[in-house]
Structure 1
């Protein structure tokens, strides 16, 4: 009898641990029912960080056009100058545009919440200079997990910003020179079994192999019946659970 009670006790502790650790890393949407319903369709958002770049972003745009797929580009403000034509092309071809800070310099961006917000505002103004719109969808460099808390989220919302992390990705941000075949394998594996995917990739000029892997990635999710969407103001926010 004592052994059964002891076993039951340890099982309860184990399940409590699983519940707590899982909740800390779960993705939170501002309207999960809206995000996951949509007539039981599988949905995927292809997102590209770190552009615009003169070569790779254009290559990715070529693939998206060939595949008749729209995507979302999170722009670094400092990369706009000299790549205005690329930014204009993103906009004219019907893709969505978001903010990914102005400098992408870790110490500068995260020196304070105000510094972070100023970088986003500066990027929005730079985009407005070129195409006449001020985007308000944002992505934290390296993700929001270590930086977002409830007070900061309120401050972002007060500045009309909406936050979007991701729940699947390839390793092109840290290992950009991996082969296209490796990236395709990652994309297939990391999105497996997920009905609602916000997929992170990169489009800087070092990400040549990302553009080469993209056709196979798109074709894979098309065969699985996924609907490709862009992130807009109407898309429920998608971020890691903020700290208190």
Structure 2
């Protein structure tokens, strides 16, 4: 009888232990799932709190036909962009510049001549090119922007000293981190330009997209509606570059 009782107690004890272990495991699984869910939530909250942004930027304008087409598309889609202008292209296209400004787009400096030999012969020449461009913009719309984009990009253009000269003249520098390459090859198909405009974007929270708006960039204007549609579908805010925007430029050529 005693042995039978011991056997029953053993079975009950074992059953209780198994049930306890099972409950403990289930609690652990539940806790782990909650942690994973929290991590996913944190990731989503981060993307919202960081404010995923895309800066649509257009270089080498103004032009009459294509810049106006791009402005039409921006208006239709209720988004704004940033235009880095060449000073000697403004005469004769004043109405285009006035329109881009009146519609709330941002305007920056892209040199007066876009002549690399003149622009990059020394720091003083570079500064003068930007000042001359700014003066043309001021004559047209009465503002004097200090946001600039290096023709060809800032990579290896100046030493730390040269960048300091630029900053001492109160200019702020803005390159790009995504490129349609329509400056090198404006004849790329609209679909190719679209694919380049979104390639790798899923890993980026802040995108500065390089495009061009010369009269050779007809395919850029054709690709633009689909580019805008994509970034809207991904939850990006369309922002413009201002003097409050953090600078974006390449490594310095040297430390001299």
Whether TM-score is above 0.5 comes out as yes
Q: 2:214 aligns with which of 204, 214, 219?
A: 204
Q: Is the 8 A contact 1:84 1:130 kept in 2?
A: yes
TM-score (norm 2): 0.79
Unaligned runs of 5+ in 2: 1-45
Equivalences, count: 209
Q: Which has the larger radius of gyration?
A: 2
Q: How does 1:1-244 map to 2 (within 5 A)?
A: 39-243=49-253, 244=255
Per the TM alignment, residue 64 of structure 1 is displaced from its structure 2 partner at its CA by 0.4
Distance 2:95 2:200 in 1: 33
User: CA deviation digits over 1:5-63, x for unaligned, max 9?
Assistant: xxxxxxxxxxxxxxxxxxxxxxxxxxxxxxx9871221111100000000000000000
User: CA deviation digits over 1:105-157, x for unaligned, max 9?
Assistant: 11111111111110000000000000000110000011001213211111111
Q: Say which structure, 1 or 2, has more relative contact order (CA 8 Å, 6+ apart).
A: 1
1:50 match: secondary structure = strand
Query: Runs (4+) of structure 1 moved beyond 4 Å?
Result: none
Unaligned runs of 5+ in 1: 1-35
2:227 match: secondary structure = helix
Per residue, is there more helix in 1 or in 2? 2
Name the CA shift for 1:181/1:102 in 2 (closer, same or farther; >3 Å).
Answer: same
Distance 1:111 1:38 in 2: 44
2:151 match: secondary structure = coil
TM-score (norm 1): 0.83
